[in-house]
Amino acid sequence: MGTEEARPAAAARGMGRLGLLAAAGATAVVVGAGNTALHYRRWSARMSRRRAAYDYLAPAPARPCGPLHARVAGPLRSPVLLLHGLAASSRSWGAGYDVLAERHRLVVPDMLGFGASARLVDGHGLFAQADSIAATLEAAGAGSEPVVVAAHSYGACVALGLAHRHPGLVRAIVAISPPVYPDAVRARECMLRALTPLERVIAMDTVWARRACTLLCMGHPRLAAWLARTLRPELPAEVAADAVAHTWTSYSVNLAELLGATARAEWVLELGLRFAVLTGDLDLLPDTDYLSALAARSPLVTLEMASDADHLPLMSHRTRVLELVEELAA
């Protein structure tokens, strides 16, 4: 075969190898896409099962009540206060908790700087939260007798601050997944172990977190809400969207209080209050060693682990939360 004739043959063989490589690559892409689709379907099914397990119904909207927005219902006796966590709102406590209003004056506020409540330039710290909640209880007709507080996550810190700042106002606390620590070092350790690297960037006080919050939460709230719902499909849409309903100031000031271990669980011992802790056995954020030691020191403190639960026992174990509230209100 001549040189000119050999070139097309060589080219054909080369094209054949390229064809095989292309086919192999295409197959890998198809298989990879198939695996990705399979993983996505499994993940989506898992999120759907978790969302269904929450059995969530959206509550009535919060209305102006003193310095905060809150939903208020029930008779003017035996008050119960429900506090949400950091980067959340009163809608974390779904309509399933409104059964408390059958026997209690139920007050469920959006804390200062979150949900529908005011966003100030400053003044969102632990004791500012406590003062605004005390005023809201008064406006809701729930200030005439001590309240039982059920509080999720950072809300438990605020509940402790409320009891410490306004002695006599709080009767008992049900603390759900409480991030309370003996000191700032332990607070940071628990926060870091509980979050993935990406969550650390989003949640912790960093340049990137500030930029993201300023750009999205404050600059493009609708886009931020869509992203929150997309990234957390297991959450009720309202709860996911409210995770970005705040400003950087309101978020970062309260985060600093959490990381600084400002709220002290020992305050309940000083005040003689019952402190019932319910936390998920899969949740790494609470310092269960510290809480166990506190429970060993005093019968006023109890620690209960919710089986197969993460950071949201208020949704996955609502019946138990309601039982604890009624036990402390009895």
Dump pLDDT digits (tens) for 214-247.
Answer: 888 888 888 888 988 988 888 999 999 999 988 8
Give the residue with greater pLDDT, 206 vs 113. Answer: 113
Mean pLDDT calculated for residue range 132-149: 94
For position 144, what pLDDT does the model report?
83
What's the pLDDT band for 26 if we cut at 50, 70, 90?
very low
Average pLDDT of every residue of the chain: 85
Cα gap 11→89, rounded to integer Å: 67
Return the pLDDT at 34. 54
List, for residues 267-307, the tens digit of each pLDDT value: 999 999 999 999 999 999 999 999 999 999 999 999 999 99
**pLDDT given at position 312:** 94
Please name the helix (run of DSSP H) or strand (run of DSSP E) that holds residue 93, with its range, or none.
none
Does 70 have pLDDT greater than 50?
Answer: yes
Q: Is the pLDDT of residue 67 over 50?
A: yes
* Choice among 23-37, 90-104, 254-268 with the minimum mean pLDDT: 23-37
Model pLDDT, residue 15: 33
Give the whole-angstrom CA distance, residue 113 versus residue 122.
9
CA nearest 161: which of 57, 254, 236? 254
pTM: 0.84
pLDDT in tens, 33-45: 455 665 555 555 5
The reported pLDDT for the residue numbered 92 is 97
Q: Look at residue 138 and tell me whether its pLDDT is greater than 70.
A: yes
Please give the average per-residue pLDDT across 145-159, as a whole number.
97
Please tell me the predicted confidence (pLDDT) of residue 149: 98
* Residue-level pLDDT at 73: 97
Expressed in percent and rounded to 5, the helix, strand and coil fractions of the chain are 55, 15, 30
Alpha helix positions (H), the chain: 3-54, 126-139, 154-165, 184-194, 197-203, 207-212, 221-231, 237-242, 248-259, 266-271, 288-297, 313-316, 318-329
Whether the pLDDT of residue 2 is over 60: the answer is no
CATH of the domain spanning 63-329: 3.40.50.1820
- Dihedral sign, CA of 195, 197, 199, 205? positive
Two structure tokens written together for 172: 């008992």
